Amino acid sequence: MTNHFRQAIEDTLPWLSSFGADPAGGLTRLLYSDEWLETQLAFKKRMSESGLETRFDDVGNLYGRLTGTRYPDEVILSGSHIDSVVNGGNLDGQFGALAAWLAASWLKETYGPPLRTFEVVALAEEEGSRFPYVFWGSKNIVGLANPSDVQNITDAKGIGFTEAMNACGFTLPSSPVPARKDLRAFVELHIEQGRVLEANKQPIGVVNAIVGQRRYTITLTGEANHAGTTPMSYRRDTVHAFSRICCESIAKANAHGDPLVLTFGKVDPQPNTVNVVPGKTLFTIDCRHTDADALKAFTAELEADMQRICHEMEIGIDIDLWMDEAPVPMDVGLVQQLTALCEKENLNYRLMHSGAGHDAQIFAPTVPTCMIFMPSINGISHNPLEETLIGDLAEGVKTLALMLHQLAWTE
């Protein structure tokens, strides 16, 4: 079975990756671009040829369907996003859609049609790389997308969302697309995009939760002044305040330990000049955790620490919390089922959380959802160097196929 999938991946992944191959390296396949449409149409044709009923929904999510013989109205869905970041790799997203098709083809050939309806989905968009909107594909399936949110947005070249959509033959729905009521499960296979599986020499990750995130922009206001004539005791130096905040917070994060992560990713001191005491510093905080209460408690502590430090140093502080996404647990029943399957098949797996966001988090609140991870070499992703050993990819598709067999091909 692993050998079959290894061969199937070698026969199809280079073909699918040829659409949107970027001369500058990797894959660039932005929502509603020519490359995007070409990919969806090619994938549609290939799925049709293999005996799946194919269709697009209103917004360009592509489906390949095998109707269930016993429970045609109960749908098991599997896939991932077909779009990529600029100069992305050829696994993030598209491999999950490709794998669902390879698994379904093998299951159909081996066992005939499913009892429950099975659908492959190549989701229109997840990355937010062209327009300032993420999860457009999955949100439209579960009734979370509001057309008015994208009606007036444009890409970096000034092309409107609706204009780009129309050019691909799709029309923005006039009102939110209602949630599908026929979905019984969503299973997403994806690369880890981190180093945990590789470091532990494990080919399979069973995801039990997707982290919650809080993102802040903080502005510190002190006083810009002459670097030579201002004695140390008279300064209101915002870089000094920032460095105290950063060091104390990181120490606290280290003491807290996994799965909490904390990042000060952007720092912008002003005037950013060698001989001026920096009077203003803007910086960002990205904090993630799988437990909502722990995330809230930790960031509340950070906020209080920052206030205290700034008060001590007579620095003004503005705290802007602009993203507050709760952690999303995967379906307990499906995670148990997947874990039991890995045990039974003697697969080398690990129960783990996802530190990155995925379409699965959009489905999970309303559709029983689980995710399977495969290792990323050196943890690299969103980069042309993104890679996974072919044996690990095959193991991933096999695990997906076994899970789909249980969900759609058996009672």
Looking at the Cβ atoms of 239 and 397, the one nearer to Zn ion is 397
Looking at the Cβ atoms of 20 and 93, the one nearer to Zn ion is 93
**Size of residue set near Zn ion by CB under 5 A:** 2
Binding string to Zn ion for residues 339 to 378, with x set by CB under 5 A, is what? ----------------------------------------
Contact predicate 342/161, CB 8 Å: no
Tell me how far, at minimum, the Cβ of 84 lies from Zn ion, in Å.
Answer: 9
Contact predicate 364/331, CB 8 Å: yes
- Candidates 74, 92, 125, 192: give the one binding Zn ion (CB under 5 A): 92
Looking at the Cβ atoms of 93 and 114, the one nearer to Zn ion is 93
- Candidates 64, 68, 88, 93: give the one binding Zn ion (CB under 5 A): 93
Does residue number 96 form part of the binding site for Zn ion (CB under 5 A)? no
Looking at the Cβ atoms of 117 and 376, the one nearer to Zn ion is 376
Stretch that binds Zn ion, among 9-17, 90-98, 117-125, 138-146 (CB under 5 A): 90-98
Stretch that binds Zn ion, among 89-97, 248-256, 347-355, 370-378 (CB under 5 A): 89-97
Contact predicate 214/320, CB 8 Å: no
Which among 2, 49, 44 has a CA at the least distance from the CA of 19? Answer: 44
Stretch that binds Zn ion, among 88-96, 249-257, 337-345, 367-375 (CB under 5 A): 88-96
Contact predicate 190/163, CB 8 Å: no
Give me the residues paired with residue 75 across strands: 117, 183
Tell me how far, at minimum, the Cβ of 94 lies from Zn ion, in Å.
Answer: 9
Tell me how far, at minimum, the Cβ of 93 lies from Zn ion, in Å.
Answer: 4
Provide the pairing of β-strand 183-191 with 369-374: parallel
Q: Which amino acid is at 61?
A: N
Give one DSSP letter per residue of 227-260, joined into a string. Answer: TTTS-GGG---HHHHHHHHHHHHHHHHHHH-TT-
Stretch that binds Zn ion, among 91-99, 101-109, 110-118, 288-296 (CB under 5 A): 91-99
Tell me how far, at minimum, the Cβ of 203 lies from Zn ion, in Å.
Answer: 19
Tell me how far, at minimum, the Cβ of 138 lies from Zn ion, in Å.
Answer: 11
Looking at the Cβ atoms of 286 and 305, the one nearer to Zn ion is 286
Burial class (CB in 10 A: 0-12, 13-18, 19+), 24: exposed
Which among 305, 267, 306, 300 has a CA at the least distance from the CA of 283? Answer: 267
Looking at the Cβ atoms of 221 and 388, the one nearer to Zn ion is 388
**Footprint of Zn ion on 164-223 (CB under 5 A):** none
Give one DSSP letter per residue of 79-126, joined into a string. Answer: EEE----TTB-SSTTHHHHHHHHHHHHHHHHHH-S-SEEEEEEEES--
Binding string to Zn ion for residues 156 to 175, with x set by CB under 5 A, is what? --------------------
Binding string to Zn ion for residues 35 to 74, with x set by CB under 5 A, is what? ----------------------------------------
Tell me how far, at minimum, the Cβ of 356 lies from Zn ion, in Å.
Answer: 7
Which among 151, 66, 56 has a CA at the least distance from the CA of 103? Answer: 66
Looking at the Cβ atoms of 92 and 119, the one nearer to Zn ion is 92
Stretch that binds Zn ion, among 38-46, 86-94, 143-151, 239-247 (CB under 5 A): 86-94
Give one DSSP letter per residue of 37-72, joined into a string. Answer: HHHHHHHHHHHHHTT-EEEE-TT--EEEEE--SSEE
Give the 3-state secondary structure of residue 390.
helix
Cα separation, 64 vs 101, whole angstroms:
8
Looking at the Cβ atoms of 66 and 102, the one nearer to Zn ion is 102
Tell me how far, at minimum, the Cβ of 92 lies from Zn ion, in Å.
Answer: 4
Give the 3-state secondary structure of residue 269.
strand
Looking at the Cβ atoms of 68 and 93, the one nearer to Zn ion is 93
Q: Return phi, psi of residue 43, to 5°.
A: -70, -40
Cα separation, 292 vs 127, whole angstroms:
24
Residues that bind Zn ion in the complex, under the rule CB under 5 A = 92-93
